[in-house]
Structure 1
Amino acid sequence: RLPPEQMPNAHPGNACSVLAETLLMSESISLLAKPSKDIVGQRLGSFGAVFIMLKSALGAGLLNFPWAFARTGEIRYAVTIEMISVVFLISGLIILGYSSSISGQSTYQDVVQHLCGPVIGKLCEIFLVFNLFMISVAFLVIVADQLQKLSVYIYELINGSSESEMPHHWYTDQRIALFILCLFLILPLSIPKEIWIQKYTRWGTAIYLTVVITVKYYIRAVPEISSWTPVFSVIPTICFGFQVSVEQAPVLNKKLSHWVGISFVSMFFCTVIYSLTGIYGYLTFGKNVAADVLMSYSGGDVIIIIARLLFGLSIITIYPIVLLLGRSVILAPVLQHRGKYLVVTTSFESCTRVALTLAWVISTFLIAVAVPDISKVISVIGGISAFFIFIFPGQTINKEC
C-alpha cells in the first residue's frame, strides 16, 4: 500500500484508477496463489471427466485393500461394507454437484464456504490441508517399501545370496534412498507454480496391479483363511481409496445430470478394480497379507518388479500435484494477508512458495521414515476422508434446505 503522501489526487478519474488497481492487485494475489493452468472453466467431455474421476480415486489406497479385506475376516462382509460405503460416496458426490450448481463455486472448499459460512469453510480447508499432507506421507511410505524390496532384489542379483545374508550398510538403507529421491527428484518437481507432470498415469498403474494380483492368485496355492477381526475396520481404507471430491474442480462445471452419470460410471469402475484387488489379494495371502500388498510378493518376480516401478513412478508424478493442492490452500490466505499491508511481489510469492514446499517435503519425509507400515497412515487418512464423503456434503445440503 502507498503512504498517504503518495496517494493520487481524489478526483473521479483517479478514484477509478485506484479502484482498478485495487481489483487488479486482488486478482494478482489470487493468480499468484494458484497455478496458471488451473482454469476452472475448462470444458471436458464425458469420457474425459470419467477419466479424471478414475485418476483421482485409483491411488495408494489400492495397495491396502487386501489387508483391509483380511481385517474383516470374510470377503462377503468386506464387499457388503464396501457397497454400502459406495452408496454414501455417490450420494455425497451428487450433493456436491448440486451444491456447486446452486452456489456457482467450482472447488470443494469454495462450495462448503459459500453455503456453510466462513467458519465451516475454514474448518474444511484445515481438514483438506491435513488430509493432503497425510496422503503425501502415505506416498512416501509406499515408495520406501518398494525401495526396500528393490534393493534386496538388486543385492541378490549381484551377490547371489539371500535377503537374510544381506549386510546392513548406509547405501542399502531405503531411508537414505528415499531421502535422495526426495531431494533430487520430488522436491524439484514440486517447487514450480505450474505442475507439468501428466496427471493421468495413476489409473493405468492401478489396472495393471489389479490384473497382476488376480492372475497371481490363480497360479499359486491358496492358503487357509481363518482370521476374524472387526468388520467395520475396512471403512477407513474404503474412504481413503474412494475419495475423489477434493480434486474435481474441472468436472464440477458440468451439468448436474452429466455429473450424476459421471459419478455412477466412475464409481462402478473404481468398485470393480478395488474389489478385485481386495478379494484376490486376500485370497492369495489370507491373514498374512501385508498392509502394502506388494510387500507380500517375493522380490525377484519380474511382473511384481514392474508393478513396483510403475507404482513408484506414479507416486513420484502425483506427489507434486497433491503438494500443489495443499500449498495453494495455505498460500492464498498468506498472500491476501500480505496484500493488506504491502504490495505482493513475485519474489515474495516465490520465496513463500519455496519455503512451504521445503517444509512440506521435509515434514512428510520425516514422518514417513518413522511410520512402520502404510496401514497406520491410512487409518488416519480414512477418518479425515470420511469428513469429505459424509460430513461436509451433508452440511452443504442442510444449509441449502
Structure 2
Amino acid sequence: MPCDVTSAPLLERSDDEPEPPARPATPPPAAGTSWPAAVFLIVNAALGAGLLNFPQAYDQAGGLAVALSVQATLLVFIVAALLVLAVCSDHAGAATYQDAVHGLLGAPGLWACSAAIALYCYGTCVTFLIVIRDQSDVVFSSLAGPQFCKTWYMSHLFTMPVTVALFVLPLCFSKRIDFLKWASAVGVAAIFYLDGLITVKYFTGGFEPGPIKHRPDTWTDVFLVMPTICFGYQCHVSVVPIYSCLRVRTPTTFLRSALTAIAVCVATYTVAGTFGYLTFGGRVTSDVLMSYNARDPWVMAGIVAIAVKTYTTYPILLFCGREAVVRLWVAGRGLDESAAATGELPRRCVVATLWLVSSVLLALVTPSIGAVIQLLGSLAALFIFVFPGLCLLRLVLEKDPELLLRKDRWLTAFAVALTSVGAFVFGLVLTQALEEDIEHLGPPITDLCVVNRVTSQLMMHG
C-alpha cells in the first residue's frame, strides 16, 4: 500500500464492533504530502483526455445551458462522495480505494471494486495513449503532408511506443503515489495553457462555427453529457491513496485539498467546453484539438502541452490499476502478510510492464477516444456514486443500527440517493454507449493515416 494509514479516527470503534480485515503493514512515510501538493495530485488525476471531449459533449446534450446545469447537479454528489471516501478510509484504516471498500463491504466488495478499478484505469490509460497517437499524427500531417505515415519515423507505430518508453515507463514503478507530485504540477500547468489557447482562439481565430444548439433534440439527449462529466471528474480512485499520503491526515485538510482541486477542474472544463463549443459549434470533433490547424505555433504548443499532461497522468492511473490487480492477485492466492511482502517488488514491476505494453498495443488499433470515454463514463459512475453510497450506508448502520439519531437517518437517505443516482447513471450511460456504437457501427475514425488512405481511395474511384 502506498502510505501510512494512521490518523485520528473519525469514529471510535466499540469493543463489540468487528475489526476490519487485516492488510499488509506499511512503514510510516518519512514525510507526507502538503495539502497544496495534494491539490496538484487530485487535479492531475481528474484533468486529462476528457477535457478534449467536453465541447462535443456540450453539443450532444443540447447546448451550454443544458450541459452546465447537468454538470452543476452532478457536482453536488461528486464533492460529497469525496468526503465520504475520506471518512470511510479512516474508518477502515485503508490507503487505497479498494481497501476502503473491503473494510466496509467485505470480500465481495473487494473483488467487485478491484475488478472495476483495474478495468477503468486500464481503459483510461488506453485513452491517454490514443490522445498521444492522435496529436502526433496531427503534428506530422501538418508538417510533412498527408503522406507522413509512409515515413517510418513519423508513423505513430514508431513514435508512440518510443515516447512512452522514454517519458512514461520510468514513472510507472513507484511504490508511493506522491512520488508523482512534481510531474503533476507540470501536467496541471500544461492544461492551463490549453485552456488559454482555446479561449484565445475563440476570440482571435476567425472560425466559422457550425449550428449552436440551445435545447436538446430529444429530452434524452440531456444525459449524453453524463459520461464525459463522470469521466472528467473521476478522481475518486486516486484520492484515497493521496489522502493516505497527507502530512496532516484529517478530513478538514483533505476537504480543503479536494474543494480546491474540484474548483480548478470546474473552471478548466467549463472554459474549455464553452469556448471550444462556441468556436466550432456542431462541427466540433470528439478531440477538439484536431479541429485546429497544427501549423499554427500556438496550436502546436497546445498539442505538446496535452502530450505532457498525458505523460504525467498515465502513471497515476497505472498506479491505481496496478494496486487493484495486485490486491486481486494476493487475495486470490490467499497470501498472508509476509508472503505478500516477499514478492512485492518483482510483482509490482511485472504488472506495471505488462500493463504498459498491452495498453500501447491496444491504443494503436483503437479508432478514437469518443466511444471509449462513453464506456469509461459508466464505470466512473460506480466509483463516484455507487461504492461511496454503499460504504456510507454500511458505516451508518454499523454505528447506529436502529437509526435512532436524526443525523444518521439523513445520512442513510443520502447514501441511498447517492447509490441510486450512480446505478441510474451507470445503466443509462452504458446503454447509450452501446446503442451509439451499434447505430454507427463503431466510433468515428481519428487515425489520420486511415483517414488519408480512405480519402485517397475514394478520390481514385470517384
Alignment TM class, shorter chain as reference: 0.7 to 0.9
**Once the two structures are superposed, what CA deviation does each residue of 1:98-135 show, in whole Å capped at 9, x if it has no partner?**
22333333332221111111211221111111111111
- Contact 1:190–1:324 (CA<8 Å) still a contact in 2? yes
State whether structure 2 residue 121 is matched by structure 1 residue 132: yes
1:231 corresponds to which of 222, 226, 231 = 222
What is the CA distance between 1:83 and its match in structure 2?
Answer: 0.6
Matched, 1:356 2:338: no
**What residue number does 2:236 align with?**
245
Code of the aligned partner of 1:245: H
* TM-score normalised over the length of structure 2: 0.71
Please report how far the alpha carbon of residue 136 of structure 1 lies from its aligned counterpart in structure 2 after TM superposition. Answer: 0.7
Alignment partner, residue 202 of structure 1: 187
Task: Tell me the distance in 2 between the aligned counterparts of 1:84 and 1:173.
Answer: 43
1:44 to 1:71, Cα distance in 2 relative to 1, 3 A:
same
Deviation at 1:90, TM superposition (A): 0.9
CA distance in 1, matches of 2:68, 2:227: 14
Counterparts of 1:16-95 in structure 2 under 5 Å?
A: 39=29, 43-95=32-84
| AA matched with 2:184 | K
Give the one of 380, 383, 393 matched to 2:378.
Answer: 383
| Letter paired with 2:68 | V
Instruction: Deviation per CA, 1:276-325: give whole Å up to 9, x if none.
Output: 10000001111111111111110101111111112212222332332232
Task: Work out which of the residue numbers 294, 297, 306 in structure 2 matches 1:302.
Answer: 297
More divergent stretch after superposition (267-276 vs 52-61): 52-61
One-letter amino acid matched to 1:247 = S
Corresponding residue of 1:217: 202
Q: 1:45 to 1:328 in 2, by over 3 A?
A: closer
Aligned to 1:373: 368
The one-letter amino acid paired with 1:238 is I
Q: TM-score, normalised by structure 1?
A: 0.80
Indicate the SS of the match to 1:369.
helix
Bigger RCO (CA 8 Å, 6+ sep): 1
Unpaired segments of 5 or more residues in structure 2? Answer: 1-21, 397-462
CA contact (8 A) 1:54 1:270 kept: yes
> Which of 82, 104, 108 does residue 93 from structure 2 map onto?
104
Identity %: 29
Are 1:284 and 2:279 matched, yes or no?
Answer: yes
- Could you list the per-position Cα deviations for residues 139-176 of structure 1 after superposition, in whole angstroms to 9, with x for gaps in the alignment? 10000011101112331xxxxxxx34657343332233
Contact kept, 8 Å, 1:30 with 1:332, in 2: the verdict is no
Question: Which stretch shifts more, 235-244 or 321-330?
Answer: 321-330
Counterparts in 2 of 1:176 and 1:117: CA distance versus 1, 3 Å: same
5 Å-filtered alignment, 1:303-322, equals 303-322=298-317
In structure 2, relative to structure 1, the CA distance for the partners of 1:323 and 1:69 (3 Å cut) is same
1:182 equivalent to 2:149? Answer no
Query: Looking at CA atoms only, which structure, 1 or 2, has the larger radius of gyration?
Result: 1
Contiguous gaps of at least 5 residues in structure 1: 1-25, 156-162
Alpha-carbon spacing, 1:151–1:399, altered in 2? closer, same or farther (3 Å):
same
SS of the equivalent of 1:117 reads helix
Match of residue 149 from structure 1: 138
Q: Deviations over 1:328-350 (max 9, x none)?
A: 3323454574856996786x555
Q: What is the correspondence of 1:165-180 to structure 2 with a 5 Å cutoff?
A: 168-180=150-162
> Number of residues paired by the alignment?
361
